[in-house]
């Protein structure tokens, strides 16, 4: 008896949720251009350390701390307060300059770190009448960083690929343009224990 009552309640809850989703939900797609940032000093230290690990201790490095980036995404508005969203993000390419002294002779070089990620987020939305919706996002991402460094003249290379699967967060605003389009602006933080990435972006969201 209790089991049948519990099943009836669960089914009623499911039907109510489905009804709300049918009335208020909908799929959407979007794309954003981004300005991504990392700590340049941390990236420079890691780049010099790649050669120091091979015994080349007289290596110094400088690195850029910002890059252009982009993101494409698809999601579903469960209701006016909740959405689920998947995405692919290019989190930028960060250039590195290297300087090394070997046997009394100076050498220079360079390279870069390229970062990408894909993931799944929940968006907790707060509708603002006549404007759109503000939101917070939390989720999990799978990230990859490709590093390629070189010292000219002596044929030294350091390459590698690192992965980071971690949590992320952010906040933003969808400014409703009409029933089908919105302007999205947001900030996102991709956590990495070594080199976290901060992203500011703006783009267009199309709703169906």
* Position 17 in a domain: no
The mean per-residue pLDDT over the stretch 33-51 comes to 93
What pLDDT is stored for residue 24 in this prediction? Answer: 58
Q: Which two tokens stand for residue 45?
A: 């230290």
Number of domains composing the chain: 1
* Position 13 in a domain: no
* Position 10 in a domain: no
Structural domain that includes position 110: 26-207
pTM of this prediction? 0.83
* Position 145 in a domain: yes
What pLDDT is stored for residue 157 in this prediction? Answer: 87
120-152 pLDDT per residue, tens: 999 999 999 999 999 999 999 999 999 999 998
Residues 66, 74 contacting (CB under 8 angstroms): no
Buried b (16+ CB within 10 A) or exposed e, 85-107: bebebbbbebebebbbeeeeeeb
* Position 8 in a domain: no
* Position 11 in a domain: no
CATH number at residue 133: 2.40.160.20
Residues 122, 76 contacting (CB under 8 angstroms): no
Regarding beta strands 82-102 and 66-79, do their DSSP bridges make them parallel or antiparallel, or are they unpaired?
Answer: antiparallel
What pLDDT is stored for residue 13 in this prediction? Answer: 34
| Average pLDDT for the chain | 88
CA distances from 163 to 36, 46, 56, 141, 197 (A): 18, 15, 25, 11, 14
* Position 48 in a domain: yes
- pLDDT band, very low/low/confident/very high, at 156 (cuts 50, 70, 90): confident
* Position 7 in a domain: no
């Amino acid at each position: 008896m209790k089991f049948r009552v519990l099943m009836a309640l669960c089914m009623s809850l499911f039907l109510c949720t489905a009804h709300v989703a049918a009335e208020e939900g909908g799929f959407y797609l979007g794309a954003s251009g981004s300005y991504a940032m990392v700590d340049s000093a941390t990236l420079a230290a890691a780049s010099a350390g790649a050669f120091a690990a091979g015994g080349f201790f007289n290596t110094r490095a400088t690195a850029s701390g910002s890059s252009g980036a982009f993101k494409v995404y698809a999601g579903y508005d469960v209701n006016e307060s909740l959405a689920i969203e998947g995405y692919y993000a290019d989190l930028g390419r960060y250039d590195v300059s290297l300087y090394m002294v070997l046997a009394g002779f100076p050498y220079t070089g360079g390279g870069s770190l390229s970062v990408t990620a894909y993931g799944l987020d929940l968006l907790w939305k707060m509708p603002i009448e006549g404007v759109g919706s503000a939101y917070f996002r939390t989720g999990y991402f799978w990230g990859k960083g490709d590093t390629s460094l070189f010292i000219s003249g002596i044929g030294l290379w350091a390459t590698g690929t690192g992965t980071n699967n971690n949590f992320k967060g952010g906040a933003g605003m969808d400014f409703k343009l009409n029933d089908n389009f919105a302007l999205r602006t947001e900030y996102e933080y991709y956590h990495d224990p070594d080199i976290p990435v901060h992203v500011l972006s703006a783009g267009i969201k199309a709703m169906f």
